[in-house]
Amino acid sequence: MPAPLEEFCGSVFWNASLLAVPQPDLPLCFEQTVLVWIPLGFLWLLAPWQLLPMFKPRTKKSSLTKIYLTKQALTTLLLLTAVAELVFTLAEDFGQYPHPTPASRNPAVQYTNPALYTVTWFVYCAPCPASSGCRNNS
């Protein structure tokens, strides 16, 4: 019986023999879970400080700076790539066959990661309300 994480990924999570090899190649499951979720967890821990200026009362309005617009543009591109990855995964599973068998479907991690990315980039792309102005943190 496979471990729950291996079932979630559709591959082996960790292989102890990798430590004996001079140049180990990490398993795909490890790459798609640990190496994705730790940085996203760090971003979620910092999200309250990112969103805090949106809810503080502002005394002065600042104009939209080039760095703010660049940040918004890059984050929007990341958001769009995450949405596109999720759409392509759904199309792979449900495009040709309206009712795929569980064995022919993509593993759950291929749905979870793009969904986590989409929510994360949406939070970081949340613009300041135009009526209250944006607070300049730089």
The predicted-structure confidence for 89-103, as pLDDT tens digits, reads as follows 888 877 766 666 666
Give residue limits of the domains in the chain: 68-127
The fraction of the chain above a pLDDT of 70, given in percent, is 79
Burial of 120 per CB tally in 10 Å (0-12, 13-18, 19+): buried
Convert the pLDDT of each residue in 18-29 to its tens digit.
778 788 788 888
Entry pTM = 0.72
CA distance 47 to 33: 20
Cα angle 79, 82, 85 (rounded to 5 degrees) comes to 150
